A and B are shown apart, each in its own frame.
Chain A
Amino acid sequence: MVQASSVEIRKVNKFYGPFQALTDIDLSIPPGKVTCLIGPSGSGKSTLLRCINFLEEYDSGEVLIDGQMIGYDAPGKKMSGRKLREMRRGIGMVFQQFNLWPHMTAQENVAEGLIRVRGLPKAEAASRAAEALRKVGLADRMANHPARLSGGQQQRVAIARAIAMEPKLMLFDEPTSALDPELVGEVLTVMKTLASEGMTMVVVTHEMGFAAHVADQVAFMEAGELVAVDAPSRILHQPEDARIQSFLRTYHERNAF
Chain B
Amino acid sequence: MFSIPTFLESFGPLAMAARFTLLVSGLGIALGLVIGALVCACALSKSRGLRRFAAIWVSFLRGVPLLVQLLLMYYLLPVVGISIPALAAAVITVGICASAYISEIWRGAIGALPPGQSEAAEAIGMAPGTIWTRIVLPQAVVMSLPALVNELILLVKASSLVSMVGIMEVTRASQAQAATTFRPLEVYLAAACIYLAINLCLAGIGRWLEHKAAV
Bound complex: CA of A147 vs CA of B128, how far in Å? 26
Contacts of B122 in A (CB 8 A): 55, 88
Q: How far is the CB of B16 from chain A (nearest CB, A)?
A: 42
Contact A95 B124, beta carbon cutoff 8 Å: no
Which of A53, A81, A103, A147 contacts B123 (CB under 8 A)? A53
Contact B125 A55, beta carbon cutoff 8 Å: no
Q: How far is the CB of A50 from chain B (nearest CB, A)?
A: 9
- Kindly list 15 other residue pairs between chains A and B, CB separation below 8 angstroms, not including A85-B125, A103-B138: A81-B128, A85-B127, A88-B123, A89-B125, A93-B120, A95-B119, A95-B120, A99-B114, A101-B139, A103-B142, A103-B215, A158-B120, A161-B124, A162-B124, A165-B124
Specify which of A86, A97, A112, A161 lies most central, judged by the most chain B CB atoms within 10 Å of its CB.
Answer: A112
A-B contact pairs, 19 of them (CB 8 A): A55-B119, A86-B125, A87-B125, A88-B122, A88-B123, A89-B124, A93-B124, A97-B116, A99-B114, A102-B139, A102-B215, A103-B138, A103-B139, A112-B134, A113-B121, A116-B130, A117-B126, A145-B215, A161-B120
User: Any chain A CB within 8 A of the CB of B73?
Assistant: no
User: Any chain B CB within 8 A of the CB of A92?
Assistant: yes
B-contacting residues, A107-142, CB 8 Å:
112-113, 116-117
Q: Which residue of B lies closest to A146 (CB)?
A: B215
**Total residue contacts A-B, CB cutoff 8 A:** 67
Please give the number of chain B residues whose Cβ is less than 8 angstroms from any Cβ of chain A in the complex.
20
Known: A116-B134, A147-B215. A99 touches B117 (CB 8 A): yes
Q: How far is the CB of B57 from chain A (nearest CB, A)?
A: 29
Q: Which residue of A lies closest to B118 (CB)?
A: A99
A-contacting residues, B115-157, CB 8 Å:
116-117, 119-128, 130, 134-135, 138-139, 142
By a beta-carbon cutoff of 8 Å, the part of chain A in contact with chain B is 53, 55, 81, 85-89, 91-93, 95, 97, 99-103, 112-113, 116-117, 145, 147, 158, 161-162, 165
Specify which of B114, B138, B139, B215 lies most central, judged by the most chain A CB atoms within 10 Å of its CB.
Answer: B215
Q: Which residue of B lies closest to A91 (CB)?
A: B123
Contacts of B121 in A (CB 8 A): 101, 113
Bound complex: CA of A102 vs CA of B117, how far in Å? 9
Bound complex: CA of A111 vs CA of B21, how far in Å? 46
Q: Which residue of B lies closest to A82 (CB)?
A: B127
Bound complex: CA of A113 vs CA of B121, how far in Å? 8
Contacts of A97 in B (CB 8 A): 114, 116
Contacts of B120 in A (CB 8 A): 93, 95, 99-101, 158, 161
